[in-house]
């Protein structure tokens, strides 16, 4: 394995050799919100627990991005016929 390949797959959980990418993918695929959930999904955090702070950081990032997406879609108005018809102040844009 080359040095650049190792850099791309940074190992976060040294005990079980779990990469950041695997942890992040597990969090998003399972919509996980706890370290215990991540450990069940990919074993990361199940050994010495020194990676828990990073796993929690990834969980928090995922939850924040999920919340931002929900808020951005919640505020959007329909651009279809009914959205234009019922828009306040006669705005059509």
Residue 58 covered by a domain: yes
Question: For the chain, how many structural domains are there in total?
Answer: 1
pLDDT tens-place string over residues 28-82: 999 999 999 999 999 999 999 999 999 999 999 999 999 988 887 765 655 666 6
Range(s) of the domain holding residue 61: 8-67
Cα–Cα nearest to 43, from 14, 6, 5, 9: 14
Q: Which residues of 4-27 are buried (b: 16+ CB within 10 A; e: fewer)?
A: eeeeeeeebbeebebbbebbbebb
Provide the CA 43 distance to its chain's centre, in angstroms.
18
pLDDT tens-place string over residues 67-79: 988 887 765 655 6
Helix (H) or strand (E) holding 11: strand 11-13
The CATH number that applies at residue 37 is 1.10.10.1100
Bridge partners of 19, per DSSP, are: 11
Could you give phi then psi for residue 57, rounded to 5 degrees?
-60, -45
Residue 74 covered by a domain: no
DSSP 8-state secondary structure symbol assigned to residue 48: S
pTM above 0.85, yes or no: no
Residue 41 covered by a domain: yes
**Beta 18-19 vs 11-13: how paired, if at all?**
antiparallel
Residue 77 covered by a domain: no
């Amino acid at each position: 394995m080359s040095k650049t390949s190792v850099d791309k797959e940074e190992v976060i959980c040294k005990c079980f050799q779990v990469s950041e990418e695997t942890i992040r993918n597990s969090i998003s695929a399972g919509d996980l919100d706890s370290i215990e959930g991540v450990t069940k999904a990919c074993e990361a955090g199940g050994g010495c627990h020194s990676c828990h702070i990073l796993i929690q950081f990834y969980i928090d990032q995922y939850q924040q991005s999920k919340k931002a997406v929900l808020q951005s879609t919640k505020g959007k108005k329909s651009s279809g016929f009914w959205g234009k018809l019922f828009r306040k102040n006669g705005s059509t844009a």
